[in-house]
Amino acid sequence: MKTKARFALPDKKNYLVCEKCGKIVIIDNCPFDKFKEELIEVHGFDITGHSIEVYGVCPECQKKG
């Protein structure tokens, strides 16, 4: 069992959530990096992490109607 490395979730916190079946799809191409630069510049934060949650309906559920 892994007890450590709880802190090391660099970029797997960006995902799509299907509102119908609850399926979760990880977003590989994170759009945050660009935005991050801006936040650092504008707000002066030392950014240590982020999470993007996007809701919608997955293709399978769309087919089902």
Q: Are 42 and 3 in contact (CB under 8 A)?
A: no
Three-class SS state of 60: helix
Residues numbered 25-54 forming contacts with Zn ion, rule: CB under 5 A: 30, 32
Instruction: Establish if 15 lies at the interface with Zn ion (CB under 5 A).
Output: no
Min CB(38)–Zn ion separation in Å = 14
Instruction: Establish if 11 lies at the interface with Zn ion (CB under 5 A).
Output: yes
Alpha-carbon span 56 to 15, nearest angstrom? 11
Positions touching Zn ion (CB under 5 A) are 11, 14, 18, 20-21, 23, 30, 32, 58, 61
